[in-house]
Amino acid sequence: MKYIKQLVGLLLLIPVILFVVIFVTDNPELISMQLLGFSIGTLSSGAWIMLSFVVGGVAGLLSGSVIIFRLRTRLMLLNRNSNN
């Protein structure tokens, strides 16, 4: 079962990677970005969009995992108190 899940995950990942490569190559216009007055680099517009998508996804996962950790800790404490 573990190998089937890995195979399905890989089969779903391949079209996503293909989409990203096509998107970045179809948007080759160079864009220079600045943040708080500092230049943070020059990349193609497709690369900036994909980079912002990835950074936003990671930020969402991190913030969600913090909330889940707090809720699990609270649940564990409530279960411990109800058993006493």
pTM tops 0.75:
no
Burial of residue 22 (number of CB atoms within 10 Å: 0-12, 13-18, 19+): exposed
Give pLDDT tens digits for 1-33. Answer: 888 999 998 999 999 999 999 999 999 899 998
| Domain positions in the chain | 2-83
Encoded amino acid at 65, one letter = S
The β-bridge partners of 38 are: 35
Cβ atoms of 34 and 40 closer than 8 Å: yes
Per-residue pLDDT band for 82 (boundaries 50, 70, 90) equals: confident
Half-sphere exposure of 80 toward its Cβ, with a 13 Å CA cutoff? 6
pLDDT higher than 70, residue 84: no
> What pLDDT score does 81 carry?
86
